[in-house]
Copies of this chain bind each other. A is one copy, B any other.
Amino acid sequence: MDLKGALAARTRRMDAALQEALALEMDRKLLDAIRHLPLAGGKRLRPAMAMVVADAISGSGERTIPFGVALELTHNFTLIHDDLMDRDDLRRGVITVHKAFDEPTAINAGDVLFARAFEVLTDIECDDATVREIVRDLARTVRLIGEGQQNDMDFERAESVEEGQALRMIELKTAVLFETACRGGALIAGGTPEQVEAMRLYGLNVGIGFQLQDDLLDILSDEATIGKDRWSDLREGKKTVVLIHALRNARPKDRALIEATVGREGVTDDELAKVVKALQRAGSITYARDLAKRYADIARSHLAPLPPSGHRDVLEALVDYMVTRER
Contact = CB atoms under 8 A, between A and B. Distances in A.
A147 interface: yes
Contact of A107 (B84, B122, B132, B141): B84
Query: Size range of the interface on A?
Result: 35 or more
A103 B269 CA distance: 28
B127 A139 contact: no
- Candidate in A127, A139, A140 with the most chain B CB atoms within 10 angstroms: A139
Contact of A146 (B81, B112, B138): B112
Contacts of A270: none
Given A111-B142, A115-B142, A142-B111, A27 B147 contact: yes
Given A105-B150, A127-B128, A131-B132, A139 B118 contact: yes
Contact of A115 (B27, B107, B109, B140): B140
A81 B103 CA distance: 11
Copies in the complex: 2
Nearest to A117: B139
- Candidate in A112, A131, A140, A146 with the most chain B CB atoms within 10 angstroms: A146
B104 A147 contact: no
Nearest to A30: B150
A84 to B, nearest CB: 7
B127 A115 contact: no
Contacts of A104: 84-85, 153
A135 B112 CA distance: 15
A26 interface: yes
A26 B147 contact: yes
Nearest to A119: B139
Interface string A105-138: 1011111101111110110000111011101101
Interface in A78-101: 78, 81, 84-85
Interface of A: 26-27, 29-30, 77-78, 81, 84-85, 103-105, 107-112, 114-119, 121-122, 127-129, 131-133, 135-136, 138-143, 146-147, 149-151, 153-154
Given A115-B139, A115-B140, A128-B132, 4 more contacts: A114-B115, A118-B118, A132-B132, A135-B135
29 contacts: A27-B147, A27-B150, A27-B154, A29-B150, A29-B154, A30-B146, A30-B147, A81-B111, A85-B104, A85-B108, A107-B107, A108-B149, A109-B146, A111-B142, A115-B141, A118-B135, A118-B136, A118-B138, A118-B139, A119-B136, A119-B140, A122-B132, A122-B133, A122-B135, A127-B128, A128-B132, A131-B131, A131-B135, A132-B132
